[in-house]
Amino acid sequence: MRVLAICNPVCGDASAVQFYETHVAPLLKEATVELDAPVLTTTHDGHAGQFVTQYTESVEGPFTVILASGDGTLHEIVQTLTNTPPKGVRASAPPARLSFVLLPCGTANALYSSLFPPQSEEDATSTDYKLSSLRAFLASGTTVPLTLALTTLSPPPRSHNPPRTAVSAVVASTSLHASILHDAEALRASVPGLERFKRAAAQNLARWYSASVTLFPAQATGRVELWDPAARRFAPHPQSTESDPLVDLSGPFAYFLSTANVDRLEPAFRITPHARDVPPKGPALDVVVLRPERDPSVEMDSREVREAFAEKAKAVLGGAYEDGAHTVLRYAEDGCVLTEGDGPLVVEYFRCGGWEWEPDDIDDRAHLVCADGEVFTIDKGGRATCAAVIPVDDKSGFAVFV
């Protein structure tokens, strides 16, 4: 199989090149693995995507990319390949599978830590742990295909702007998560590591987002499903029937996030824990939603009410760090958040085939959409529509060595 290698020298703690040269190159040499091109050390945004796309235009057949980076560089490659019109060999040859060997050198490494859950904080930083995907490749191990979340950003009617497509292999989100990623990018140079995300979260916790949502049924079940923590299973949503499987959600929203392939966004942050515990059949997204007006104590919208609800949102996000405990939180009659009882669930946890987000024109922040860390803006009067897709067979699409 043809093999390429790419290092992103600025992701995470900027250790990707050193990690590759010290730990990866010797193992490849020992296994007599030869690269089809010199190792690419990226120098600018889009470099990895351009490199891989140009390679597919001149070479036919499946290939492997050894990727020393974070989730963002994988997203860049998948996004570029998906959105670039085929030419050269790629235009005439049948689709070929791209399999990734992941070397977790980014900040959060969501995909890697979901495929290889660390046993401890120390485990997540060990060299042996970081070489798990490479060892699977060298042992001719198995690959798992990646589900993609394709988010189409549609302009308003009569607009001359064409639709745009954002491609995710990890997360597609709006609301708080998209705002955090938007603001964290501005802090990248001055605040290292995960701390910039925590600071951006503090800046945005009290925001609410005005939008309406439609959830689409998953292909395998024909329904939108809702997690039932008492039964510990997904069950059809009461609104999702055989004749009318769509589910409509009204805003405002505090949190709206969907994942593919992952149960966590950081090694310890299991935001959609049942993506691993109860894996979906076929293409599907796990969606976590937090809507303030489900809180019995919320009777009006004001700064004070939003700040009080922000403390509950903080409890939800804290629960994700406790092995996904946020999915069992319930409201008491007075709006207090409890870990038991039979009150309304604080978090709505759906499994579906996709979703449509239509933001209110006057809410600028509701127009932000995040796809694997890249933030897009919906045109005023437009909408975002996200759908889960999987490879048509084992010879196409994207996969990861596990």
Question: Per-residue confidence of the chain (402 residues) as pLDDT tens digits?
Answer: 799 999 999 998 999 999 999 999 999 999 999 999 999 999 999 999 999 999 999 999 999 999 999 999 999 999 999 999 988 988 888 889 999 999 999 989 999 999 999 998 888 889 999 999 999 999 998 999 999 999 999 999 988 899 999 999 999 999 999 999 999 888 877 887 778 888 998 899 999 999 999 999 999 999 999 999 999 999 999 999 999 999 999 999 999 999 999 999 999 999 999 999 999 999 999 999 999 999 999 999 999 999 999 999 998 889 999 999 999 999 999 999 999 889 999 999 999 999 999 999 999 999 999 999 999 999 999 999 999 999 988 888 999 999
- pLDDT reported for residue 195: 85
Distance of alpha carbon 112 from alpha carbon 390, whole angstroms: 19
3-141 carries CATH number 3.40.640.10: no
All structural domains of the chain with their residue ranges: 3-141, 148-389
Give the span between the Cα atoms of 308 and 303, in whole angstroms: 9
**Would you say 351 and 286 are in contact if contact means Cβ atoms under 8 Å apart?**
yes
Sheet holding 171-174, edge to edge: 233-236, 225-228, 348-352, 285-290, 255-259, 171-174, 368-371, 374-377
**Please, are residues 374 and 75 in contact by the beta-carbon 8 Å criterion?**
yes
Q: Is 373 left (phi over 0), alpha (psi -120 to 50) or beta?
A: left
Which pLDDT does position 95 carry in this prediction? 86
- Give the CATH architecture of domain 148-389: Sandwich (2.60)
Q: Whose CA is closest to 262, among 289, 287, 292? A: 287
> How far, rounded to the nearest angstrom, does the alpha carbon of residue 23 sit from its chain's CA centroid?
28
Question: Do the Cβ atoms of 47 and 40 come closer than 8 Å?
Answer: yes
168: three-class secondary structure by DSSP = strand
Nearest to 3 by CA among 37, 26, 29: 37
Going by their DSSP bridges, the two strands 354-359 and 164-168 should be labelled as unpaired
CA distance 211 to 184: 23
Helix-helix angle 175-187:195-204, to 10 degrees: 130
Cα distances (angstroms) measured from residue 186 to each of 176, 259, 378: 16, 24, 20
The amino acid present at 70, given as its one-letter code, is G
Please give the distance of CA 91 from its chain centroid, rounded to a whole number: 29
Residues paired with residue 258 on neighbouring β-strands, in sequence order: 172, 287
